[in-house]
Structures are given as structure tokens and as C-alpha cells.
Chains A and B, each alone.
Chain A
Amino acid sequence: MITLVRRLAIVSVLGLAAAAVAYSHLIVSHQSTVEQANRYDLAWTGFNGRLEVTSLRERVARFAATGDAAAGDEAKLYFQIVVGRLNTWGSGEFGKFIASSPLREARFEGLVRDLTLLEPLVNQIHEDGARLQLMRDLVAISTAMDRIGGEAYSASLNEADAVRNALRQKLEVETWITGTLLTLGTLLVVFLLVQNRWLSRANATVAESAANHAFLARHDALTSLPNRLAFHDAFALEIERRAAGRVAVLAIDLDGFKAINDTLGHSAGDALLVAVGNRLTRMVGLWQDASAARFGGDEFVVVLRVEDGVSEAVEKAENLRRALAEPYRLPDGTVVIQATIGVAVATPAMPDPLQLPDDADLALSHAKSRNKGTVQVFDVTMRADLTRRRRIEADIITAIALGEIAPQYQPQVDMETGQIIGVEALARWTHPILGRIGPDEFVPIAESSGKVVELGRAILEKACAEATLLPADVKVSVNLSVAQLVRDDLVDTVSEILGRTGLAPSRLKLEVTETIVMSDTERCIATLHKLKQLGVAIALDDFGTGYSALSYLRLFDWDELKVDRSFVRSIGSDPHSLSIIQAVVGLASQLGIKVTVEGVETEEQRNLLRHVGCRIGQGYLFGAAMPLTALSARLLRTALPAPASRRAHLRLVETGSPST
């Protein structure tokens, strides 16, 4: 379309140029036509000739009638005038007219010859005979001059007509050219208008896309909420503004959003985020001086002004949390999701209010690690927690290398005999500055920072090595993390460690939790099979806390179930717990699986458990996790007459460090 109009415009311009050239040609030819029209008038010359010969005849006649000498002289003068006239006829423009017709030329020649013959008669005008002859001959001369004069008149008329025709034709051509000029001019104007419209449309498009880009740079593409960049600018402005009240920041995170994304798909996840964004916008719109932003993923942030400080901020955060917990109707179905909210409120004494979003985020992290689905207000100890967490994260690899993180061993006891039949290796960290750090604290940090594989491997290796120093009938249990289990080299690693440390595979027991197996069941089961082929025993840890424990019993040939401590804790108060344990023990014995109960803390619990058929127990009643040396001493104390294999252990006690 554009090229068509451009071509049209070029043709118009060329046409205009051609029309202009034609027009100037026309003007030149006009001039020649005008000159033609201005030409010498043949008719006039012809007409005067006829008058003169008539005058000559009239003078001759008057002389004949009156004999007046003046008339005779005039007759002679007029004869000369007539001769002069023929002279004029014979030359110049009239001469050309005469010559244009052979017949006319012949007639003219005859006329001249006849006139020449009259000259002697004119000179003898006083003689009657000559005069009569003259008068007779002049009739013929007059007729011939009339004839030529008349022809000149006709020729003149024809010429005038031709000029008129030429003018009319040229006028017609001129009309056409003028029409063409007007048409082409109009076309050009139209083209200009069209192009103008295109240009302004293109301008509008450019402006629109520029505005779009500006919007996109500061807004989240999915929810159209302001993004982190826009939030920080708005937040800085809000801090600057000396408005009434105090600035508060809410950091919001959806609990289990990843699971929804994984199970329902990304489009459902995106739809949920959009719905959350809409709900946030609607809620925040009800508050004065408040705005919401999306920082990415399922992280949202709200900045608002509160009159009554923390209590008002918490109240609003609670409202928000409840609103977000309402079911979402998405195209893929209805979703319920909780939100955890961290709250930070500016205090008048705050040195750097710009830190508020970080504080809110810290409160959020704190809540996520402890109480998901709640509102948590920031307090300064959380910043200390963060510092400690970062320190732990930074030091973890060095600690593994230096042996600061090492296994301690909690005994697993035969509740009938009191004999220690195994130990569970539990990672313990004594930090040179921070002191003792519990696994509850550093294991999640190691997991989140991707260092849990190294940690697990170090504990496994150390436990295997130290187990060789224990009596051969004491087995060692080591926990496997999900990160370890999904790695391709786990079987090789275990096999290599067993080979290097010389620990008999039958003395190693690897514990996995139900949730680990859930994450990638087929692959995990395959790995567990390979491990079992090495001769290693596999225990299912935290049994009874998952969703479908019984089906997992079918999936794999477990060597041992470890009943979760939560059952044991409540057996005194809740008779169902004991029934469940009894059922599990019965089921396990039928399947040929050993059972260990965890968290045995009192004699009463031991007795109850023994009563329902539990053999092996683990818990504070039988001892907390202890270093190898303490364990060795304990083994020595409870030892019955020592079998040969325990000598190594005795040696260790004699030479090891005395710390217990």
C-alpha cells in the first residue's frame, strides 16, 4: 500500500513536470498564433487596390465629362497610384499570396501586362479615342483587381478562421493540461495527507511502545504490579515525605507455592500469582497511602502508612493474610494457599528507614522457618539471627574440612537386655566462636546453601571410620538427605567409603525419610536397591508422620522402621498412640521388618513399649548423642564378658582423649 502510494506520488510529480513543459510549449505556440493573427492584413491591401482603380475610373470619367484639367492630372496621379498598388501586390506579403496560386499568378501577370499597355493611353487622355479606349480597358483592369482583391479578402478570412481554430484547439489542450495539473496536484495533496496520517500513526505507535517499555521497566509483566525497582523509588519517596503516621512494610510470601507450580503447572502458578496480585491490589486500595509490588516469584511487598504504629500494621497484615487465604478459583480448579507475612514498622529513632524492606523480609524468613501462615513482626534479634545464619553458612565447608562438624552417637538399646545393639550417627558442630550449633540449625542452612551433600558425605565417612573401632555387633545408622539420594554417585560413594574404612557393609544402616522417597520415588527406590545389594541395611525414618506410610512399606524391602518420637511422646496420655505402635509392630513383624521406637525418655514409656512388643528403643532414657570416646566408655561399662571383637574398643579407650 505504501509503495503504491509512493509510486503514485512519483508519477504525479513526473506528470506535473510533463504538464508544465507542455504548458510552456503551448505558451510559445500561442505567441506564434498571436503573431499570425497580427500579420499584415491582405484584405486591406486588396480592398484599397479596388478603391484606387475605381477612383482612377471615376477621374477619367469626370475628365471625359467636364474636360477639367485638374481631373486629368488626378487621373494621371491615380494611374500612378494604381501602378504603385500593383507594385505593392507584387512584392512582400501580398506577393507571396499571389504566388501561392498559379492561376492567380497568371491572372496577376495578365493584369500587369494590361496596365502597362494603358500607359500610352493615359498620356493621351486628351484625345477622345485614347480616352475611350482607356475607359473600356479600365473595366477589365477593375474586374481583374476586384477578383484578386476579393480573393485576398477570402484568404484573409480563411487565415483568421485558421487562427481561431488553432486558438480553440490550443485552448482545448490548455484545458486538458490544466485539468491534468489540477488532478495531479490534488493527488499530491492527497498523498501528503495520507503520508501525514501514516507519520502521525507511526509516531503514535512509537510513543505507545515507548510508554509500554517505560511501563514494563517498572512493572511486573505478569501481574502489572510495580516491580522491585519501582517499589524502591516509591518507598524512598514515601520515607522522604513528611506525612503523618509512620511507614510500614509488609513482606508477603505464599506457603507451598512451589508445590502448586510443580503439581498444577506453571500456567496455574501464574494464574494464582495474578489472582493474588489482584486481591492484594484490591485490599491495599482500601488503605490510604498504600501500594503493593511484586518482587518476583511468590514474593510480594506492601508499603503503607500507619497512625498507631505496630498494632495497626499487624492488624492490617492479619486482614491481608486472611484475605489471601480465601480460596482462589482458577481455570485449573480451586486452590487454597496460605501466606506468611513479615512486618516492619519505622520507629522515630530509626537510623536508616530504608532498611525497612530488609527488616520485613527478615521477619518473613523468621516466620517461614518457624510458623508458616502467620504474621511476624520484626525485632532486632532477628538481625542477629541473620548474622549468625550467614556466619554458619560461610563457615560450614571449613568446619567439615577441619572436623568441627563430626558425628556423635546415640545408642539404640535392646529394651529387654539393656544391651547397645547399634548407634545413630548425628552431626554435631562445635564452632570455635559460636560454640555448639545444633543440627536443627545448621542442617537446614546446609540444605538451602547446597552444602548438605558434602556434609552428609563427611559424616558418613567419619561414622564408618569410627564404627570400625566399635564392637562388631554394634551397627551404625547414618541419615541420608534428599540431596545425597538423588545424586548418581551415591552408591559409588558408599561403596568407596566402605572399602576405604574397612567397615563391613552389614554394619552400616542408612536412614531415609518417607518425604525423601516421595520426591522422586522410582529413582530413589532404584538407588536404595543398589545400596541394599552392597549389603547395607535401609531404614525408613520418622515412620508415621508422612501421608501414605503403608504403601511405602510395599514399595521397598525395608530392613527397619523407625517409629516417630511423636507417637512415643503421647503414649502416656493417648491410648491410640500405643495402639498404633502395637499395630505397626505387628505389621512389621509379619513383613519381617525390625522396629525401632524413637524418643523413649521415661521408664514408663519403656515398659509400655515393651508391653506391646517393641524390642529396640532410642532416646534420652538410654542416652543422648555422645562422642565416640564416651560411647566406648559406655559400651565398656555395660559390657558382658567381652568378645574378642571388643578389644579394639578397649584399646581406643586406653589411648583416646578423656573428654566425656
Chain B
Amino acid sequence: MSVILRMLFALALCLGLSDPSAAGDGKAIVLTVEGNIEGERQTFTIADLEAMGTEQVTTTTPWHDGAVTFEGVAVARLLEHVKAKGETAEVTALNAYFVDIPTEDLIRNGAVLALKRDGNYMAVTDKGPLFLIYPFDANPALRTELHYSRSVWQVSSIAIR
């Protein structure tokens, strides 16, 4: 299977480089935040997000082999940044997947909007460009179907309600 994964990885790399929305240049808009926030709607590039300050989370997940180190913006900081005033965050992904998450859950459990995996920006083929991740290893109580469903990859927008 490793041969196959290498093939996929190679494919992902080449797609990522050719994709205009990829994080490569840092100028493309990767995230839209709207709803009950300051200014109703704010957009972010990778650089904007990095400017908020990033942190690292190392954890295992059901979707990766072995432990993975993610780097990104703490959701709490992002919500603070946009002055969110709502109890629920409606997170939507590129593939139209969406899930409602209580903001309190995101803040209390230290959810991170990851930009990088193991030091590399993430392509769409690698659950990029943004991946909402919980520190599962730090808090094993998070290893439930519920929090797996809240770990949204290919995040494109967040609406605060």
C-alpha cells in the first residue's frame, strides 16, 4: 500500500503546486468568517492567519498513520480576533460538508485551525488548506464520534450564529 500512498502523495504535491487556491503564495483567500462578528464578514489569507500567531498540536488522528504535528491558529484566538458574539460556529468545507460546533467547545478543548502538517502547508489533497483539529492525545476524552465529526478538513468558511 505504501507504493500507492506515495503515488497519491506525488499526485497531491503536483496538484497542490498547480492549484490557485493552494497556500503556496499566501495571498489567496483561504477563509471567510461571517455572521455575528465585527464587520459581518471577514476574509483571511494564510498570511493573515499566520499573523495572528500560531501554535503547534501533536496528536494521532483516525485519518493519519502515527502522530502528526499540526501548526495553526487557535480557534479561540481567531474568534477573539473577529470579535465573535455567538454560541455556535457553522463550519463549512470545500466539499460542502458542514457542522455546527458550540464556540465554547472549540475554546475549552483548544481546537486549532491548522495551516501546516509536519511543517508543510497542506494541499486540498492533504485536507488543506485549513484543517480544524482537536488535541486528541492531550485529552483522550475527545476521541469520540462527536469530536471526530467536528474535525473538519478543507475548511473554507465559518459562520458565527
Contacts and interface: CB of A to CB of B under 8 A. Distances in A.
A95 B124 CA distance: 19
B63 A94 contact: yes
B133 to A, nearest CB: 13
B11 A91 contact: no
B20 to A, nearest CB: 8
B139 to A, nearest CB: 14
B39 interface: no
A51 interface: yes
A607 interface: no
Nearest to B20: A73
A87 B12 contact: yes
Contacts of B12: 80, 83-84, 87
Given A119-B11, A119-B14, A92 B64 contact: yes
B1 A99 contact: yes
B19 A76 contact: yes
Given A91-B64, A108-B1, A108-B4, 16 more contacts: A40-B62, A41-B145, A44-B149, A77-B94, A80-B124, A81-B95, A81-B154, A83-B8, A83-B15, A84-B153, A87-B126, A95-B65, A98-B1, A99-B1, A105-B1, A119-B15
B44 interface: no
B124 to A, nearest CB: 4
Contacts of A92: 61-65
A112 B4 contact: yes
Contacts of A247: none
Max chain B C-beta neighbours (<10 A), residue from A48, A51, A55, A84: A84
Given A81-B94, A84-B125, A38 B15 contact: no
A52 interface: yes
A109 interface: yes
A116 B126 CA distance: 15
25 contacts: A39-B62, A39-B145, A40-B62, A40-B148, A41-B148, A44-B149, A52-B95, A55-B95, A81-B94, A84-B123, A84-B127, A84-B153, A87-B8, A87-B9, A90-B1, A91-B5, A91-B64, A92-B62, A93-B63, A98-B1, A108-B1, A108-B4, A112-B4, A113-B4, A123-B18
B143 interface: yes
A39 B144 CA distance: 7
B7 interface: yes
Interface of B: 1, 4-5, 7-9, 11-12, 14-16, 18-19, 21, 61-65, 94-97, 123-127, 143-145, 148-149, 153-154
B65 A48 contact: no
Contacts of A80: 12, 15-16, 19, 123-125
A92 B59 CA distance: 13
Interface string A28-59: 00000001001111001000100110010000
Contacts of A76: 19
Q: Interface majority SS on A: helix, strand, loop or mixed?
A: helix
A91 B65 contact: yes
Interface in A62-83: 76-81, 83
Contacts of B94: 77, 81
Interface in A83-119: 83-84, 86-88, 90-95, 98-99, 105, 108-109, 112-113, 115-116, 119
Contact of A87 (B14, B21, B125): B125
Contacts of A105: 1
A138 B119 CA distance: 34
Max chain B C-beta neighbours (<10 A), residue from A44, A86, A87, A94: A87
A191 to B, nearest CB: 44
Contact of A113 (B7, B19, B63, B126): B7
Contacts of B8: 83, 86-87, 90, 112, 116
Contact of B125 (A83, A93, A98, A123): A83
Nearest to A74: B94
B62 A38 contact: no
A109 B4 contact: yes
B60 to A, nearest CB: 9
Contact of B124 (A44, A81, A98, A123): A81
Contacts of B62: 39-40, 92-94
A48 B9 CA distance: 20
Contacts of B148: 40-41
Interface string A211-249: 000000000000000000000000000000000000000
Max chain B C-beta neighbours (<10 A), residue from A52, A92, A98, A115: A92
A649 to B, nearest CB: 143
A51 to B, nearest CB: 7
B75 to A, nearest CB: 21
Contacts of A84: 12, 123-127, 153-154
B33 to A, nearest CB: 21
A99 B1 CA distance: 8
